[in-house]
Structure 1
Amino acid sequence: MSSTSTAPPPRVVVFGLGGTIAMTSSTGGAVSPALSTQQLVDAVPGLADAGIDIEVVDFRRRPGASLTITDITELTAAATDALANGANGVVVTQGTDTIEETAYLLDLLHHRPEPLVVTGAMRNPTLAGADGPANILSAIHTAASTHAREQGCLVVFADEVHAARWVTKTHSTSGDTFRSLDTGPLGYVLEGTLRMLTRVPHRLTLPPPHLAEHARVGLHTVTLDDDPTVLDAIGARVDGLVIAGFGVGHVPEPLVDTLGTLAGRIPVVLASRAPAGPTLTRTYGFPGSEQDLITRGLIPAGWLHPYKARILLRALLNATANPQDIATAITTAGGLTAPTAWPWPITDNQPTETSTTDA
């Protein structure tokens, strides 16, 4: 007689942080985070038939705007423990206000191969057409899939799967707000199946931060006829600074001397305030151009969005990286230098399987 063995179902741990997806009101008025993670999972149609074991953890109940670097650092440690104890993947539910930043920080700190998936909702559970249940279901299918391994942190929204390093929130109310403007999504969840169309080429991760460190990193968006006194006030109080410049990395000429002085004291990253596209390095040569600012010590961010650049710079400072490693990490994350320049080990994610979908 032959015996057959059945593999155990995949196990996914869902960590709830609060946010719109968990908001309700007992009075019918304005909503706030009140629902437990178990309540969110219990409200997902079709999840019971998905063949996936679910565990839930009420980790925080906060609006997305009130999450902190410490919250996400502690979440990373908890998710790592869950995966080390046999979970196949982790889902994080949170407010959408900060997903593009928290997901990128998770991507930098998540070293394991299992999927770490972030999702949320644009319409709270009291509204018609609330999108939370559908997003949770797609996120869980993604986290349970072997084809999402070695992709770092992913953001799943409206059945689209995005890389944390590229995704951004593009609309304040639309249900399909999350877009990867420069690349498009990595794949989709269709009929309960993850279908990956492409993959991140490599993963860039950082050493764990020192929780006692709280580096102050500012973000200044350059505007027409900008005043250097604002930069003077910010620069005196921060450990690092990101400049969101015009176009490919330009600033008004009156800011140039102040930025050069700051770059001699703290790391100053030059990004673009445009929604998509990179900073350049050697096309323009006038005072305040990208080439001029780089010669004054600013670090070009390349394809790295200003919000992501701030997260990376703060994580680097919290990990007490040296100045040369900081500059190299920024330019590597922004695609201006080869991945092999990354100061820490990287993972090459070339696909090893002929199929990119789960049957």
Structure 2
Amino acid sequence: MADTVRHVAVISLGGTIAMTAQTDGGATPTLSADDLVAAVPGLAGTGIHVQVHDFRRLPGASLSFSDLFELAATIETLAVDGVVVTQGTDTIEETAYLLDLITTGDMPIVVTGAMRNASMAGADGPANVLAAIRTAASTEARGTGCVVVFGEEIHAARWVRKTHATSPTAFTSYPGPIGYVAEDRVRVLARPDTAPTIDRRSAATSVRTTVFTVGIGDDGTLLQALSDHVDGLVVAAFGAGHVPMACVDALTDLAKRMPVILATRTGSGPVLRQTYGFPGSESDLLARGLISGSTLDPVKARILLHLLLMTGTDKDQITQVFSIVS
């Protein structure tokens, strides 16, 4: 920017942070972006110039790929130092990773929200918005990709997960936050590898993908039922990439017809490649044509797979992209 004042855009998508309790007792999105920013104590003292955009008023669970593509296009038009996106926590990890994949440049893009709506005691939205604005305005956060700021911790989109249904400390990541906000200062301690970039403008194909979580006793019947209804599949497997032996034939058939990503349902750690050798082990499944999701959790693997399929990427190219995600 030409002046020394930092400029940040706050874009509201709705979610708990924008919700208030209604007469029937249920909370719904009612607050605008202006309302959210006005409720942040101490913001004026930062000297940061904030512009607001009331983009959507939806629960996080109802956001779509088209909403987020339009959001990315809006972000590209903004002449600011950084962007804060506020939304429902249900899908923050998905929004953050999708934006990480379809946006370019060094400008910080920060996603945040709240676990307690504005009508509740101890509402966490204002503190999260303030920390997010500080992060978006900072030079320290440039080049980190899209991040999630929650509870004054800075999490890389690549690793962040919602790990609790109600706690204000619901967002965690493995191997841990890449930074934090303390005493009004943004401190970035680590920088993740650059994510692959996917050109959303070539996303002309309508596709359907899903995550299938294996459980003890699965016999492959439900996997077979998916074959005519999806264009790509992520298998959330046991441990380091294992499934019941009874599922092997169904997965072998599916892998011949579509890209099938092998991920671990544990939430952290890699899919192995050659440690185990029994039917249904990681080495057996990879030999049958499944694609390793590496350290991507199933939700993130599905976002990447979905975007690649939307842009017409073939199976060999999909395999190549997943091979560089570590």
Length-normalised TM-score, structure 2: 0.97
Check the 8 A contact 2:203/2:307 in 1, yes or no: no
Structure 1 residue 209: deviation in Å? 4.6
- The letter of the residue matching 2:136 is A
Q: Distance in 1 between matches of 2:219 and 2:57?
A: 39
- Measured against aligned partners, the alpha-carbon deviations of 1:260-294 in whole angstroms (never above 9, x if no partner) come to 11101100000001122111000011110000000
Q: 19, 34, 50: which is aligned to 2:46?
A: 50
- Measured against aligned partners, the alpha-carbon deviations of 1:111-142 in whole angstroms (never above 9, x if no partner) come to 12100000000000000100000000000000
User: Are 1:163 and 2:156 matched, yes or no?
Assistant: yes
Q: 23, 29, 43: which is aligned to 2:25?
A: 29
- The letter of the residue matching 1:289 is S
- The letter of the residue matching 1:15 is I
Structure 1 residue 25: deviation in Å? 2.9
User: Are 1:92 and 2:88 matched, yes or no?
Assistant: no
Q: Indicate the residue corresponding to 2:129 in structure 1.
A: 136
Q: 277, 280, 300: which is aligned to 1:285?
A: 277
Check the 8 A contact 1:163/1:200 in 2, yes or no: yes
Structure 1 residue 28: deviation in Å? 6.3
Check the 8 A contact 1:262/1:268 in 2, yes or no: yes
Length, aligned pairs only = 325
Q: Indicate the residue corresponding to 1:258 in structure 2.
A: 250
Q: 302, 305, 310: which is aligned to 1:313?
A: 305
Q: Indicate the residue corresponding to 2:107 in structure 1.
A: 114
**Aligned residues: percent identity?**
54
Q: 63, 67, 70: which is aligned to 1:71?
A: 67
Runs of 4+ in structure 1 deviating by more than 3 angstroms, as ranges, are: 209-212
- The letter of the residue matching 1:239 is D
Q: Indicate the residue corresponding to 1:175 in structure 2.
A: 168
Find the residue that maps to 1:202 and give its secondary structure.
coil
Q: Indicate the residue corresponding to 2:147 in structure 1.
A: 154
Q: Indicate the residue corresponding to 1:341 in structure 2.
A: none
Structure 1 residue 170: deviation in Å? 0.6
Structure 1 residue 204: deviation in Å? 2.4
Moved more, 190-199 or 133-142: 190-199
Find the residue that maps to 2:115 and give its secondary structure.
coil
Unaligned stretches of 5+ residues in structure 1? 1-5, 336-359
Q: Distance in 2 between matches of 1:195 and 1:278?
A: 28
Find the residue that maps to 1:232 and give its secondary structure.
helix
Q: 206, 210, 214: which is aligned to 2:206?
A: 214
C-alpha RMSD of the superposition: 1.2
Structure 1 residue 254: deviation in Å? 1.0
Find the residue that maps to 2:83 and give its secondary structure.
strand
Q: Distance in 2 between matches of 1:103 and 1:202?
A: 14
Check the 8 A contact 1:156/1:162 in 2, yes or no: yes
Length-normalised TM-score, structure 1: 0.88
Check the 8 A contact 1:218/1:234 in 2, yes or no: no
Unaligned stretches of 5+ residues in structure 2? none
- The letter of the residue matching 1:201 is D
Find the residue that maps to 1:100 and give its secondary structure.
helix
Structure 1 residue 202: deviation in Å? 2.6
- Measured against aligned partners, the alpha-carbon deviations of 1:150-169 in whole angstroms (never above 9, x if no partner) come to 11100000000000000000
Structure 1 residue 211: deviation in Å? 4.7
Find the residue that maps to 2:191 and give its secondary structure.
coil
Moved more, 195-204 or 72-81: 195-204
- Measured against aligned partners, the alpha-carbon deviations of 1:17-38 in whole angstroms (never above 9, x if no partner) come to 0000000134261110010010
- The letter of the residue matching 1:282 is Q
Find the residue that maps to 2:195 and give its secondary structure.
strand
Check the 8 A contact 1:70/1:211 in 2, yes or no: no
Q: Distance in 2 between matches of 1:59 and 1:128?
A: 27
Alignment of 1:197-346 (within 5 A): 197-333=189-325, 335=326
- The letter of the residue matching 1:72 is L
Q: Indicate the residue corresponding to 1:352 in structure 2.
A: none
Structure 1 residue 320: deviation in Å? 1.1
Q: Distance in 2 between matches of 1:245 and 1:292?
A: 13
